[in-house]
A = this chain, B = another copy of it.
Amino acid sequence: MDNFQFYSPTEFIFGRDTETKAGEMVKKYGGTKVLIHYGSGSAVKSGLLDCVKASLDASGIAYTELGGVQPNPRDTLIYKGIELCRNEGVDFILSVGGGSCIDSSKAIALGVPYNGDFWDFYGTGKEVEKALPIGTVLTIAAAGSEGSGASVVTKEEGSLKRDVGSDLLRPRFSILDPVLTCSLPAYQTACGATDIMAHVFERYFTNTREVEITDRLCEAVLLTMIKETPRAIAQPDNYEARANIMWAGTVAHNDIVGVGRSQDWNSHAIEHELSALYDCAHGAGLAVIMPAWMEFVYKHDVMRFAQMAVRVWGCHMNFEFPDETALEGIACFRSFLHSIGMPINFEQLGAREEDIHKLVKKMGIGDGKTGGFVHLTSQDIATIYRIAANAGL
């Protein structure tokens, strides 16, 4: 096991009607003037925004608001948010929405006290030294941003998707009411589930030996998702299925399932180019990329893929030909994704094989290598895109 630091100080408030506690929580963490940041009209239409405002009113907390966050959140709205916060003297950002909304909130939070362009921090490794405190009211189980210090945003000019990470960006509190996710359409539910499973797999495939505790915790989240996702799709109002998925999404990404080991994250990097170029859902892009990545790299550690096959997908171990078991596990993953309505190749995603050269170039690896499990060259990544382009069941 590698040395590690684990720090997840966010206070999670989970369950029915917990959004009514938003005001109380902002007050607890010192906010006096809040920016409510949200996405599309659904938070307005559902009455959630009114509920949150009533809760802030009841706690005597002033607020201003900025809606319009899109999936794959854009820098343009973030600049607006930073200016608004400075003009209005905002000292706390309350994100009401899914991962995109939280990531946009984090960008605003670090941008407000920074004397320069917030984009300086994205994709550069530049350290965040100051940020406004954030709280979230989560409406989509997927990104895990409610419990992480990470933020991914897209620069419109050039469609660049880049990320930043800092403990200062971890939300002070996150309110998780599974009821808010019951209105999600099946497709978005499945995209979220895929993202959650991908967050686990990025950590599961490691070169660090003998990290049984995190292996088992990873498998715990995956087994839960395999049980609960089809239930949530078949019965959108099933509170228990939604609750298990929502908490699994947080556990999958606050790094409790990833400490003490090298992690990979190539599938995320490879996917980001797809959602940046085609503006597809991140989860859908992952459904196409991740099994293809697995097929390309599995020979690097056949027994690890066999372990996934047996422990996660319930395959029988082929002791004579472990490769068969490894491949069977990958096939199970792709079948599962298909069964929950995810695309499994470029055509189904709306991507084009002739763009592969452009996608690889935009990743900007050049002659270098990337990834924690298997170090991939630009050529390797092109091959993975090609496998993904033509995949079938």
Contacts and interface: CB of A to CB of B under 8 A. Distances in A.
Nearest to A4: B14
B220 A224 contact: no
Interface string A1-34: 1111111110111111010000000000000000
Interface of A: 1-9, 11-16, 18, 178, 209-213, 216-217, 219-221, 223-224, 227-228, 239-241, 243-244, 247-248, 251, 256, 259-260
Given A2-B15, A8-B9, A9-B9, 9 more contacts: A1-B14, A3-B16, A6-B11, A212-B227, A216-B221, A217-B217, A220-B220, A251-B256, A256-B256
Contacts of A243: 1, 260
Nearest to A12: B6
Contacts of A227: 212
22 contacts: A1-B178, A1-B240, A1-B244, A2-B15, A3-B16, A3-B18, A4-B15, A5-B12, A6-B11, A6-B12, A7-B11, A9-B11, A14-B260, A209-B240, A212-B223, A213-B224, A213-B251, A216-B221, A217-B220, A217-B221, A220-B220, A256-B256
A14 B258 CA distance: 13
Contact of A213 (B4, B5, B6, B220): B220
Contacts of A240: 1, 209-210
A324 to B, nearest CB: 23
A9 B256 CA distance: 13
A146 to B, nearest CB: 12
The listed residue with most B CB atoms (<10 A of its CB), out of A4, A213, A224, A239, is: A213
A254 to B, nearest CB: 9
B244 A259 contact: no
A204 to B, nearest CB: 13
Nearest to A16: B3
List the 5 shortest-distance A-B pairs measured between CB atoms, nearest first.
A3-B15, A216-B220, A9-B9, A210-B240, A1-B243
Contact of A7 (B7, B12, B178): B12
A213 B244 contact: yes
A158 to B, nearest CB: 38
A181 to B, nearest CB: 13
B5 A14 contact: yes
A144 to B, nearest CB: 14
B224 A247 contact: no
Contact of A216 (B7, B14, B209, B224): B224
A211 B244 CA distance: 7
A5 B1 contact: no
A261 to B, nearest CB: 11
A153 to B, nearest CB: 27
